[in-house]
Structure formats: structure tokens, C-alpha cells
Amino acid sequence: REAEELGEALGWKLGPAFTGTKVMWLKRNEPENWQRVRHVLMPKDYFNYWLTGEIATEASDQSGSAFFDPVNKTWDERALEFIGLPAAYLPKLVAPIEKVGTIREAVAEALRLPASVVVSPGGGDNACSALAAGAVADGTMVMSLGTSGTLFGYSSKPVLDKTGMICPFCDATGAYLPLVCTLNCTEVPEDVRAMIDEKVTREELTKLASEVPAGCSGVSYIPYLRGERTPNLPGAAGAIVGLRYGMLKNAGLLYRAAIEGVTFSLLAGVNAMKNFGVSDLKELRVVGGGAANALWCQIIASSFGVPVKLIEESETAALGAALQAGAVHGGEGDIARFVSEHGPPTGGTIQPESKDARLYGEAYERHLAVGGRLFG
């Protein structure tokens, strides 16, 4: 309810995860608790407050609040007025390269650290992951393959999508971080594995899937098992279309069709970004549990038509925050340059296979057409 009301007032569709909708809910449902509120902070901003005694924040986290103007990187007075959130409750805004402060004496004693330790502002989890993955220039994006699928990357231009499909986030370098998220990712091929036999390993199924041609012989797996966010189809369901006699017994085909279906949903997201002026994709950095599947990474590379680089560090958000802290502590003036010069090494690179480009292109168009006819 709050998300719909706030979205209508602001003129763009937003989800209930935005902070502004939560403030509205708290005011309506727990007015006694709202009366106690004096500051509205993101979790990491409260931690920085505990460390330093300073109340501050930065753009990457606040661009997911619904009361922040991501273009001008300041508070949105119209949104604050509609929500009924006093500007005095908000922290001061600092740039990603600025320090929040130094640690308090009590903290220094408790943690056995020098009192001169500088605290950087941190950032949203995906913004920090982008730093760790080296996505600090136009053309490089990060794909996270977990329970949900996420695709995000550096953009020198803000992206304002009123449909809400592309989140209008800021990054942790001072630029922008357009992001799309799908609800259905690694669970989709896992569901196929459970249907076949949970005793069959992912490696065994992947080997069988590697023997199936790109495009799965005309089979499309629409992976909306939990509804979908990208595209925005909360009432949608999963569907397998194009089956012919004997195909249901082909475990490798079903497993590969599930992987391709998830990949095509994310490809639709990056194509939507292009329509908003995001620079053409030149390289993908893949993280998350699904990145361990070499076949999946090859399908991504060939479907997107760009090289895929693997990131060796699994905890990319923590590593990105550490890189930012290093830049702030060292007095660097440009985090993007610092990350480019000092970022962690990537793993191997998977090149797209041009021989499969036509098959993937046809399969992607079929995916869009089938999903649109069923649920559009």
C-alpha cells in the first residue's frame, strides 16, 4: 500500500523495500515508536555512528530510500514532504571518497586500535561489490547468480526508469549504478535437479547439459517460479514450452533450458538499460554461487556476446568496502582510479562462442515472445 501511494505521488513505480515506504508504514502502524524516532539511518550508517560519533551517509545506500534525488545527489524535498519525514532526522551527506571521521576513544580501546583510524562511509552491498569486481568504468557490469539474479554496473549517466524495472542507484565512486534484479535464478536449475533426482550432482547434470545444443532444440523454460520482478509480473508462473516426444526424459536438456531461461531474463534487463542510454556492454564480471558452473558462464558469454571474467573473491561486498577504506585512508582523490590500479586480480576469462550466436539470438527472441504471450 505505502509503495503504491508513494510511487504514485513521485511518478514512478517503486517496491516496498525502499526506506521511504517503511517510514510510512511505521508512522501508520506503530505511531508510538515513530514518536521516539529522531534519526533515520541505514544500518551501516548507524555502525559508522557507533564507531565515530558522526551521523553521516552517502549516495549509494540513500538512492534506495525513495527520498533521495540520485541525479543531484541530495534529499528530495517533495518526497520528504509526502512521507512526512523531517529533514532534521536525516544524516549529513558525504562523498564516497570522504571520511566519516576517526574512531572514538572508547572504540579504540575496546578494539585495541589506534585512535587515529579513519572510517570511510561504506556503501550499498551491490555498490561495494562493483568496486571489488572492478566495474568502475562504462561498459563493465557485474552479474550475481544467487537465489535472485542481479545485474548492475557503472554508468556515467543516471538512469531514471519510471516503470521501476531498472533501479536508479548511485555507485560508490560518485557515478551511477543502474540495477535490475530477477527473483528466479539458481533455484530454477536446482528445482530441475530436485525433480530428476537430488542424488544426481550438479556436475553430472552440467555434463549432460553441455551435450545439448545451444537453444535447447526449441525448448523455452520461462523461469518465473516465484512470479517475477524483471519483468514486473508478480502473478506469473514457470512454464516449459516447445517440448516434443521424449524430451521430458532428457535431464540435460531440461537443466540447460532452465539455465538459459534465467540467463535470458537477465539479458532482457541489460537490453532495457541500453534503451535508457547506458553504454554498450563490453565485459561482464560474474559472481555468486552460479559462477562456479563453467557451462553457465559460457552460456552467459555467448548469449550476451561479451567476455565473462570470474572474480576469485567470493565476499565481494566486503572486499569492495575494504578497497574504499584503503582509498579514503590513503587520501586518494579518485576511487575509480584507485580500484583500477589496486583492485584484486580476476580469475579466468570466458570468451563468447560465435558459432552459437544465431541459436542464442533465436532462443532469446522466443523467450521474450513466449513469456509475453503467457503473462504479458
| Bond before 231 cis per omega within 30 degrees | yes
Q: Which long-range contacts (CB under 8 A, 24 or more apart) does 1-5 make?
A: 2/28
Q: Which of 45, 61, 76, 125 is catalytic?
A: 125
Grid look-up 537430488 returns: 198
Which residues, other chains included, contact 235 with Cβ-Cβ below 8 Å and sequence gap of 6+?
A: 227, 375
Residues 6+ apart with CB under 8 A from 177: 60, 63, 124, 126, 127, 130, 152, 153, 154, 155, 169, 170, 171
Is 125 tagged catalytic? yes
- CB count in 10 Å sphere of residue 39: 12
CA–CA distance from 248 to each of 196, 245, 254 (Å)?
10, 8, 7
CA 188 to centroid of chain Cα atoms:
18
286 burial via Cβ count (<10 Å: 0-12, 13-18, 19+): buried
Cα-based torsion angle of the residue sequence 229, 63, 326, 112 in order, rounded to the nearest 10 degrees: -100
Residues designated catalytic = 125
